[in-house]
Amino acid sequence: MSAKTAFLAVAIALAGLALGGCATAPLTQTTTLKNPKTGKTVTCGGKQAAPSFWHGAFGYKIAQRHKKQCVEEHERKGFKQAG
């Protein structure tokens, strides 16, 4: 294997690892809430990661905050967490 081929193989492997880290895995677990009066359900959380450095660096905290706000908002409206 020539040095150029070895370099190319390593570069491809590193690129694959880097792109794998940008896969769109959920940042937060979902929470399902149900309104006992209407039967309506909503799901909070489970946002998908955007493939970028900034989202990876800050996205988890932002997604957690949005999920918490979503749950709190629906609980104020009478929804209960579905077990």
Within-domain flag for 15: no
CB 27 within 8 A of CB 76: no
CA 31 to chain centre: 13
Within-domain flag for 4: no
* Digit-coded pLDDT (tens) for 42-53: 999 886 655 555
Within-domain flag for 33: yes
**Helix ranges (DSSP H) in the chain:** 3-20, 53-76
Q: Write down the pLDDT at residue 81.
A: 94
- Domain range enclosing 53: 24-81
Q: Write down the pLDDT at residue 60.
A: 75
CB 82 within 8 A of CB 40: no
Within-domain flag for 71: yes
Please state which of the ranges 15-19, 56-60, 62-66, 78-82 shows the lowest mean pLDDT. Answer: 15-19
